[in-house]
Amino acid sequence: MDAGLTPERTEGMTKRMAGRISRRKFGQLLGAAAGAAALPGMPKATIAQAEPEITNAPRRFPEGFLWGSATASYQVEGAVHEDGRGPSIWDTFSHTPGKTHDGDTGDVADDHYHRYKEDIGLMSDLGLTTYRFSIAWSRIFPQGVGARNPKGFDFYDRMLDTLLEAKITPYCTLYHWDLPQALEDKGGWQSRDTAKAFADYAGVVAEHLSDRVKYFMTVNELRSYVNAGYESGIHAPGLKLDRKGVAQVAHYAVLGHGLAVEAIRAHAKPGTKVGFADNPQAATPVIETPEHIAAAERAMREENAMYGNVIFEGRYTDAYLKKLGPDAPHFTPEEMKAIGSPLDFLGLNVYTGDFVRADESSPVGYAMVKRPASSPHMYSDWLYVAPESLYWAPKITANIWKLKEIYITENGCSSADVLTPDGHVYDSDRIMYLRNYMTQLHRAVSEGVPVKGYFLWSLLDNFEWADGYLKRFGITYVDFKTQKRTPKLSSSYYKEVIRRNGLV
């Protein structure tokens, strides 16, 4: 006997059954009524027969809205020993036993270095109008600084030429976490010299590529590589610094961004646009009322005081410095000026949201809502489902930081994808996730929030950092043994979104 089957539970089940039966019956009655209303001999009208153009006309995105996908060098390229590439911290970290799932490494990854043409073919099939990729710093400067590797640019030149032939606009990230190991050996982001080295590298790349690339992002997700890399140690370089150490690393990371902005402006062709891809704590009002919305705006500044906020306001908030006290970072007025360099756009990586409520008793005027254990998440346990975040993150950031141009530089999810015997991946949960998030994005754009494009993470299943090849985020399934690519059902979904330039 089921020990959990108490009298109360049995009674509840009976009630629910009764409810279900009556609802089903109600449905049958409705169906009969609809059938009766149809003209004899005429097929019954179904939703599937409705004209998509008509039903979705009011749910279109503005003309020229960019539809893209995003990848990152270490996650897709492979070819880690080819053409003079130097080692990065992710080579070292992934080859250290126990650091990644099953000891997976990016040695081969998606072999995109050799298969980029096939991958650009996939983008063309989807109808992508833009593509976000990142440069492996240690392909250009194998030691991080000093001698340039002449072959370093060849791959990116080839890839960009193919991309432009396919009429896909490139968006380039200069740092997606693969710091040259030689720089980590000299202190990595704990050293101010790394910020300077990053700026020098950024200037060189911008000078070389800005005839073909008009949009540069300095860094990807400061919070991730600072906190996961130097605080919890779950990402490369795997350090666990104290609070003071982490605050200083965060400062040198935003300084690196700021100096890189100056270097790009100094070396790139006129008209080049500069921004960065941020993953703010996406403060989302728990209920859409004025007091909770105001609380979420306050939270967006304070929770991101050391990243997005210091970049857009050029100063650390008083609350942030007060909270850190003697652990606050050392900084100079010149550094703060560089950090606050004006930007052309903000990239937002939005996967999940953090609910905020108004709290008059708190000195900052808000409280973060602790997630109940039942909160739904996708296959990655950190990826809580919060579609509203794709409305509120761009809306609030545009408002508080006075932004004119925003891109969703990453959004997507992991699913427990299975390749079925008929050779398909029916990732209906990913489609559900995307549909809900895009509906909220559409809501923002319809209200005039200046989001100009969307990049889905990711084009391909790839090396997902500490999760190795376990967590699949692609809309294309990759068999990592054969490198065979199979577009998933979500790929058909996204293709239709792009075709309509609207919600599906």
The distance of closest approach from Cβ of residue 179 to ligand BGP in the complex, given in angstroms and rounded to an integer, is: 14
Q: Which residues participate in catalysis according to the annotation?
A: 221, 410
Q: Do the Cβ atoms of 187 and 193 come closer than 8 Å?
A: yes
* Position of minimal CB gap to ligand BGP: 464
Interacting residues with ligand BGP between 111 and 140 (CB under 6 A): none
Query: Mask: binding to ligand BGP, 373-402, rule CB under 6 A, as x and -?
Result: -------x----------------------
Of 133, 156, 201, 473, the residue at the interface with ligand BGP (CB under 6 A) is: 473
Q: In this complex, which beta carbon is closest to ligand BGP, that of residue 348 or of residue 497?
A: 348
Q: How far is CA 452 from CA 63, 70, 320, 425, in A?
A: 10, 15, 32, 30
Q: In this complex, which beta carbon is closest to ligand BGP, that of residue 233 or of residue 314?
A: 233
Element (H, E) at 479: strand 476-479
Q: In this complex, which beta carbon is closest to ligand BGP, that of residue 176 or of residue 357?
A: 176
Query: Mask: binding to ligand BGP, 346-365, rule CB under 6 A, as x and -?
Result: ---x----------------
Q: In this complex, which beta carbon is closest to ligand BGP, that of residue 115 or of residue 223?
A: 223
- Amino acid identity of residue 324, one-letter, is L
Residues that contact ligand BGP, how many (by CB under 6 A): 15
Q: Is residue 262 classed as helix, strand or coil in its secondary structure? A: helix
The string of DSSP letters for 331-373 reads --HHHHHHHT---SEEEEE-S--EEEEE-TTSTTSEEEPPPPT
Of 77, 110, 278, 410, the residue at the interface with ligand BGP (CB under 6 A) is: 410
The distance of closest approach from Cβ of residue 412 to ligand BGP in the complex, given in angstroms and rounded to an integer, is: 8
Rounded distance, CA 472 to CA 460, Å?
8
Rounded distance, CA 278 to CA 489, Å?
29
Cβ-count burial 384-417 (b if 16+ within 10 Å, e if not) = bbbbbbbbbbbbbbbebbebebbbbbbbbbbbeb
Q: How many CB atoms lie within 10 A of CB 440?
A: 21
Q: In this complex, which beta carbon is closest to ligand BGP, that of residue 302 or of residue 410?
A: 410
The distance of closest approach from Cβ of residue 467 to ligand BGP in the complex, given in angstroms and rounded to an integer, is: 5
Q: In this complex, which beta carbon is closest to ligand BGP, that of residue 210 or of residue 415?
A: 415
- Pull the structure tokens for residue 328: 């606050």
402: left (phi over 0), alpha (psi -120 to 50) or beta: left
The distance of closest approach from Cβ of residue 391 to ligand BGP in the complex, given in angstroms and rounded to an integer, is: 20
- Pull the structure tokens for residue 51: 């004209």
The distance of closest approach from Cβ of residue 217 to ligand BGP in the complex, given in angstroms and rounded to an integer, is: 11
Interacting residues with ligand BGP between 443 and 472 (CB under 6 A): 457, 464-465, 467, 471
Q: In this complex, which beta carbon is closest to ligand BGP, that of residue 183 or of residue 350?
A: 350
The distance of closest approach from Cβ of residue 100 to ligand BGP in the complex, given in angstroms and rounded to an integer, is: 11
Q: In this complex, which beta carbon is closest to ligand BGP, that of residue 391 or of residue 473?
A: 473
Query: Mask: binding to ligand BGP, 248-277, rule CB under 6 A, as x and -?
Result: ------------------------------
Cis before 88 (ω within 30): no
3-state secondary structure 10-76: HHHHHHHHHHHHHHHHHHHHHHHHHHHHCCCCCCCCCHHHCCHHHHCHHHECCCCCEEEEECCHHHH
The distance of closest approach from Cβ of residue 471 to ligand BGP in the complex, given in angstroms and rounded to an integer, is: 5
Q: In this complex, which beta carbon is closest to ligand BGP, that of residue 410 or of residue 427?
A: 410
Which position has the token pair 């996650």?
A: 75
The distance of closest approach from Cβ of residue 221 to ligand BGP in the complex, given in angstroms and rounded to an integer, is: 5
Interacting residues with ligand BGP between 74 and 93 (CB under 6 A): 75
Query: Mask: binding to ligand BGP, 35-74, rule CB under 6 A, as x and -?
Result: -------------------------------------x--
The distance of closest approach from Cβ of residue 228 to ligand BGP in the complex, given in angstroms and rounded to an integer, is: 8
Q: Do the Cβ atoms of 291 and 358 come closer than 8 Å?
A: yes
Q: What are phi and psi of 67, to 5 degrees?
A: -115, 120
Q: Does 278 participate in binding ligand BGP (rule CB under 6 A)?
A: no
Query: Mask: binding to ligand BGP, 199-238, rule CB under 6 A, as x and -?
Result: ---------------------xx--x--------------
Angle at which helices 192-209 and 243-267 cross, to 10°: 30
Rounded distance, CA 435 to CA 387, Å?
9
Task: Give the interface with ligand BGP as residue ranges (CB under 6 A).
Answer: 72, 75, 220-221, 224, 279, 349, 380, 410, 457, 464-465, 467, 471, 473
